[in-house]
Structures are given as C-alpha cells and as structure tokens.
Structure 1
Amino acid sequence: MNIGIQTWGSEGDVRPFLALAAGLRAAGHDVTLAVTHVTNKDYTDLGASFGVPVRQVGRLGADLPKLAGEALANRSNILGQVDLILRDLFAPAAQDMLSEAKRLCRENELVIGHFLVHPLKTAAELSGRPHVSVFLAPLIPSAHFPPPGVPRLGRTMNTLLWKTGGFVMNRMFLAWINGMRRAEGLPPYSSAMREAFMSPRLNLVASSPSLFPSPPDWGDTIQQCGPFCLPELAGILPMPEPLGRFIKTGPPPVYMTIGSMSIGDPDFDDTVRILAEAAQLAQCRAIIQTEGQVTGAGQEHPDILFIDRAE
C-alpha cells in the first residue's frame, strides 16, 4: 500500500513518525514522510538511512523559534502555550502544509498525520482519502482521567473539565481552522478536538498502556498502540569524534537534555548549570545537550561533555 505521513513540530513530533514510516516500510508498504520542523531541521539523510523519502515542507523565519521560546517561558497556562505555538510556529507554514497534504492524498491510498496537522484532514476530506490521526500522548477526552495538569476529581468533574477545555480550544483554534476549510469550500467544524484533530476512522495513541491503561470509554476508533521507536540497528549516522572519544574513555555517561524547551529560554544557562552540578553531586559522567557558549559549573570538567545535538 502507498501511505503518506505528515507531521509538524520539534524533534519529539518528528522522530515517532519517522519510526512509524520505517516500520510500515519494513512491513512492505511504500511510505512518504512530509515534515515541517519548527527550527527547519532537515531529516532527509536520516530518513534515507531507513529507506524513507522525507519531504521538507515550509520554512519558518530563523528568529521565530527563539522569539516563541522566549514568549513561552513567560506563560504557564498550557492552552495559552499551545495557542502561541500554533500562531507563531504553525500558522506561517499552514498553506505549505495544505499544499503538501493535497499532494500526499493524490499519491497515496492512505494518509496518517499528527493530530495537530489539520490541513491533512482537510485534504483527505476533499479527496475522499482515508485519514488516520496520531496522538503522541493520551490527550483524548475521557471521564476516567482529567485533562493534563488537573488533579483527579472523579468522573463527573473529569467530564466537565474536558468539556470546559474543549470550549476554550474551540474559541482559540476554530476560527483559523475553519478559515482554511471555507477557502477550500468545506463546511466549518464545531469542535476542534472531535472534528479537526480526531479521525472518525482511527486514532492511534502512541503511548504505553503499561503506564496509562486505555480508558473503557474511548471506543473502537481510539487505539493505544505503544510508542513508536526508531529501529536500533539502522539509521545510525556517523558519531561526532569528540562524542565518540568521550563515550570510550570511561563508564557509560548519563545523557541530560530538555529538548526543544531550551529554544529561546532566557534562563537556560541556569538550567545547564543545575544539570552540571547534579552530575557532579551524583559523581557520574554526563553528556549535556545545550546550545551556544557554556559558562560556569562543569565548563571544563573532565567527566562532562557539552554538545549541541547528536542523532
């Protein structure tokens, strides 16, 4: 089967979909992956190492991720954070993503997308192509657990909180989602979660059922399938020489990172210092992912290596 996959986001939003593409290819399918990365990272070579063609879709301004990161550092409300991310890092590439989504629907028999990539669902509706939505965490409403960041207060309150969250999401997202749909001649959605983000056919939740048992009210169209992990014996790019040397010269190190949350964080120097001090207190060797010049604790410690990134 020819399958098109589309995702948007940072490292944690791209690698699981590359893993899914690699797994489907290993099962005998022809798979194409379309990626819009918030820092414009190119996944072409990594995808090719798994035999998966990767298309880079859209290109954000070089300063946008840093500016958005600085703004995010001052917001504690999760919906406000999502609103800012989508406004500053999704919307500028939305039309490019829609164009690619239409291409994927023309070329493939099935399309699979990150749940936030609503242009793919719009394109699938236009073309009549089957569409599957993927959630990388259990974010689908249920009476059996509350929304993220909210304490468990029982089924009645869980349901009420999800409905309240849904109302807020509709206020935040539906206007610009429906703007795209109207431009394509489609009727507007009334629910961001149920209509824009979820698929009526199949929704995959790529999280561990051991850590989060699937609630009984999700229904057959929602399937928790476990995390998507890249194969261990393929896709290995050359290791940077300093990293290889550090790994070989002592006991296995601890890898420390907060991923893309570091982008534009005005306090990230303090975070790096805390990680370095923690490694020294624990008396362990550490590889700390950071960007830019490192100053202060651990700067020249023989058991600490600072890197900007490694595949």
Structure 2
Amino acid sequence: MKALVITTGSRGDVQPFIALAAGLNAHGHEAVVAAPRRFEALSGSAAVAFVGLDDSIFALQEELSGSGVGAALTGVRRARPYLRRWLSDLTGLVDVQPNVIVCTRKTLGGTALAERLGVPVVPAQLIPLEPATAQYPIPLAPAWWPSAANKLSWRASGALEAPWRSMVAQWRIDQLGLSARGASYGSLVDQVGVLSAWSPHLLPAPADWPAHAAPLGFWTLPGPVEPLPDALGRFLDAGEPPVLVGFGSMLDADPARLSDEVIAGLRMAGRRGVVVSGWAGLGAAVNGDDIFVVDQADYRALLPRVAVAVHHGGVGTAAAALTAGIPQVVRPYFGDQPFWASRLHAMGVAPAPLGRLRSAALAERLTQAVALAPTAQQVADRLAGEDGVAAGVDRLERLIEDH
C-alpha cells in the first residue's frame, strides 16, 4: 500500500509517526509522512519520504515561550490564521495519491482528505481519546473527576475540535469540494478501529474496549541515534550518572524561579544534573561544574547515561525513560500529563507527582526515585520484548484487508 501518514504537534507528536512510516517501508509498503516542515531532517534520518506542512504556528508558540501562562492562553486567539495556512497545505496532499491515510485527530483535516480522495482512513492516537471506557476517565479529565462518571468524560474528545469546526467546514467546501460535515473521528474509530501507539505495560486496554483499539506498543524511531555534543559527553564521563531535567515545550510563568528551584533541588540531593533548557528556558544563569545545560539532545542517547529523568509527564518522554530503564520524577502541567504521572507512580517507576516544583520536594522525590531503579529496569526488560511498530504495521494491513 501507499500510506500517507499525517500528524502535527511537537517532536513527541511527530517522531512516533516517522517510526511507523519507516516500519511500513521496511515491510514492503511505501509511506510518506506529512508534518510540520521543521521535522524534515528527522524524517530524512529515518529515510522516510516527507512533505513539509505549514509550521508558522510554532513561531507564535516560541514568541510566547517564557512569557507566562496568561500570555500563552491569550495567544490561542491568534492561532486562527495559522490554522488556515495548515489546512491550505493539507489540500496539496491530494497530489501524493495514497491509497490509505493514517492521521491523528489533531490534524483536523486528515479524514476529509481521505473522503476527497475516496481512500480508506485509519485513525491513530498516542494517548487514549477513543473509544470511551467506563474503566477510567479520558486522560484530559481533571483529577477530581468522579469515577461514576468516567464514561461521560470521553465526550471531551470530540470537543477538542469544536473551536475550529466552522473553519474546517468552510475549508471542506471551498478547497475540497465536499459537504460541510463528514463522518466524525469517533465514528471512524468505531467503524474502522484505531492504531493506539502506547505500551500495554504502561496502560493496558480496558476490558470494554474492542480488540481493534488495544494498545500496540510504543512506536520507536530506528537508528541512527543523534550523537551527544562533545562537551556533554565529557560531562557525563566526569562523574556519577547525573539527573536529567527537561520539561519539553512546557511554558512556565516564572522560568527564573523554576531554574533556581531545580538547581537547588539537585544540589540538595547531592546530584549532578543535565538540564535541557527547552521552551521553559531552564538553566539560563547556572554557575557550577555540577550542572550542564543543553538546548536539546537525543534522549535515546542521553537517557541510558542518567540516573533519573525529571520531566513534565508527556507520554513520549515517559516512554523513552521506561525503555531506558530509568526511574522518573514527574511535574505535570496540564492535559494528559497528570494521567501519565499517576500511571507511572502506580507502576512503581516514579514517586508521587510533584505539584508546584520546590527544591526540597524535588530533592525528596529524587531520593525516592533512585530507590525505584530495580523496578524501572524490570519494566524496561519487559518492553524489550515489544515491537510496537511491527504491531502497528500488522494491524494497519489487517484493517485495510477488512475494509
């Protein structure tokens, strides 16, 4: 088959789909990834064909980086022109001429493109958004959500598209020549199935889920691993395995305070640290030979060389740390992050999640996390027997055969 794989978001949202595309190629199919154009080099490193889509919304996100939560929230109103450009670029994907499309809900127009081309579409997800279950609330639900209303919470999945529904409807009419409304993403999951790209060791399938929605395993990008900067390598070689601290694309209202608390917490625990600055702008004014600040690094190379990973609870980072056999400390911010933080704690690979990060609390959690290293290694040993990409390719083949 010729598969067009469409995704958007941060590196953690895109990298698993490049891995899936590489797996499709390895199994004799042809795959093309369409994603924000800044990930073209990442796709090229995996020898996967790539179509770059508008990524100007990242400029808005970076403009707001470090400006505080309030600025980030008001910036949402400025996103509409960027999304129009995104949808316009989706229209051009007609020229790829696939015979199947794999897309996430976040792409907004992926299912409409399949409708325009008359080809099957297979939904995919990195976190559970469909189908509903009574076993637990949707990961986006607040922590106080009552268990008796678990199934009701899953209605929030469809609400994610609500702010952009009218814009997508107009795009369907104007650029694709379709009616304003098509089949909902949830109904497609019910009819076709869904590729769920997380490990059942992290989150097993609920008892009331159909087999065609069960988790397949993490989609891990094949080599080559990006080499670490020479200076970072020397730092790692110079002492005991350090603690990795990085909050990805999360914005903090007070980056300077967060940096101070992180560094103080590391020193209070007697640990060296590698601080990945990310969008939070961590470590800008760090002094001392016990802390190394880096803008970014390939976690596949870095995580096996650290003692603990401190992060925001994104499922991609959690997966990388689980695979590396590293205990974790999680300071969740919003969305699905508290859900995954709770899961990691329940698995015994992370202490209780942090709230507002304070140095003393961080130091305490680091001490607790180090003691969880044997459990983290046991989980990594179980994950080593999984091949989520191969399972994803196999399920996609079966779903297309049954279409």
- Counterpart CA distance in 2 for 1:82 and 1:293 is 22
- Counterpart CA distance in 1 for 2:263 and 2:225 is 27
The yes-or-no answer on 1:52 pairing with 2:48 is yes
Q: After superposition, where does 1:1-311 map in structure 2 within 5 Å?
A: 1-36=1-36, 41=38, 43-60=39-56, 63-67=59-63, 69=65, 73-74=69-70, 87=80, 90-100=83-93, 102-104=94-96, 106=97, 108-140=98-130, 141-147=132-138, 148-150=140-142, 151=144, 153-155=146-148, 157-163=149-155, 165=156, 168-169=159-160, 171-183=162-174, 184-189=176-181, 193-194=185-186, 198=189, 200-231=191-222, 234-262=223-251, 265-290=252-277, 294-296=283-285, 299-311=286-298
Please give the secondary structure, in 2, of the residue aligned with 1:255.
Answer: strand
Tell me if structure 1 keeps the 8 A contact 2:5–2:17. Answer: yes
- Counterpart CA distance in 1 for 2:75 and 2:193 is 24
The two structures have a TM-score, normalised by structure 2, of 0.63
Cα distance 1:228–1:62, how it changes in 2: closer, same or farther (>3 A)? closer
Identity %: 26
Question: C-alpha displacement at 1:137, in angstroms?
Answer: 0.6
- Counterpart CA distance in 1 for 2:215 and 2:262 is 34
Tell me if structure 2 keeps the 8 A contact 1:15–1:230. Answer: yes
- Counterpart CA distance in 2 for 1:175 and 1:246 is 52
- Counterpart CA distance in 1 for 2:173 and 2:256 is 45
Structure with the largest fraction of helix: 2
Tell me if structure 2 keeps the 8 A contact 1:7–1:113. Answer: yes
Aligned length: 292
Cα distance 1:8–1:154, how it changes in 2: closer, same or farther (>3 A)? same
Cα distance 1:113–1:170, how it changes in 2: closer, same or farther (>3 A)? closer
- Counterpart CA distance in 2 for 1:190 and 1:166 is 17
Give the unaligned 5+ runs of structure 2: 299-403
Please give the secondary structure, in 2, of the residue aligned with 1:54.
Answer: strand
Please give the secondary structure, in 2, of the residue aligned with 1:259.
Answer: coil
- Counterpart CA distance in 1 for 2:294 and 2:240 is 18
Which residue type is aligned with residue 60 of structure 1?
A: S
- Counterpart CA distance in 2 for 1:17 and 1:82 is 28
Question: C-alpha displacement at 1:169, in angstroms?
Answer: 4.3
- Counterpart CA distance in 2 for 1:142 and 1:35 is 30
Cα distance 1:85–1:207, how it changes in 2: closer, same or farther (>3 A)? farther
The two structures have a TM-score, normalised by structure 1, of 0.80
Cα distance 1:259–1:169, how it changes in 2: closer, same or farther (>3 A)? closer
Q: Give the structure 1 partner of residue 371 of structure 2.
A: none
Tell me if structure 2 keeps the 8 A contact 1:174–1:189. Answer: no
Q: What is the CA RMSD across the aligned residues, in angstroms?
A: 3.2
Give the unaligned 5+ runs of structure 1: none
Instruction: Kindly provide the CA deviation profile for residues 87-111 of structure 1, in whole angstroms up to 9, marking residues without a partner as x.
Output: 47644422113323x233x1x2222
Tell me if structure 2 keeps the 8 A contact 1:133–1:204. Answer: yes
- Counterpart CA distance in 1 for 2:43 and 2:22 is 8
